[in-house]
Amino acid sequence: MSSKARELSITGLGVGISSAGVSIASTVATLNFVGTGNTFSYDASSKTADITISPDTTASPGTTINYPSGSPSPFVLNSVHVTESITFDNTNADTVPANVVTGESMLTVDDSVTITVEEGKTIVPDLYNVFG
């Protein structure tokens, strides 16, 4: 006797996916869970798998950093990770001399990223969280 998974593979049938009862896709062959903390349960009577996707808990700038117990600390994340190249010039930073103030006090720039600051433009980190 072959398994149902094997039968699906042989016949070319797919899996139907719905969200809140609305069909998203009906011919999916593989479900790929990315990340950690994803869980699922299967109801054999309805042949339904309930899938829970854990949220991305990566802190964003301005987020309070919690103590290990989970309670809020007085510390706030005030940094940003730049992952895309950008040029500050007359097309996006005004046509006159201008300061471009970051929303955070610390910038971490990927090795493959270039930040170009053209003549008349100045990058100013928000050291005192004026804009936060």
> pLDDT means per 10 residues in the chain (132 residues)?
46 65 70 68 77 64 77 78 90 90 82 92 80 62
| Residue 22: predicted pLDDT | 75
Are 91 and 115 in the same domain? yes
Are 88 and 110 in the same domain? yes
The kind and range of the H/E element at 116 are strand 115-117
Are 38 and 74 in the same domain? no
| Residue 48: predicted pLDDT | 76
Are 36 and 71 in the same domain? no
Contact at 8 Å (CB) between 126 and 102? yes
| Residue 1: predicted pLDDT | 44
* Cα end-to-end span (Å), the chain: 63
Domain that holds residue 89: 64-124
| Residue 69: predicted pLDDT | 87
Decide if 79 is inside a domain: yes
The number of beta carbons lying within 10 Å of the beta carbon of residue 28 is 12
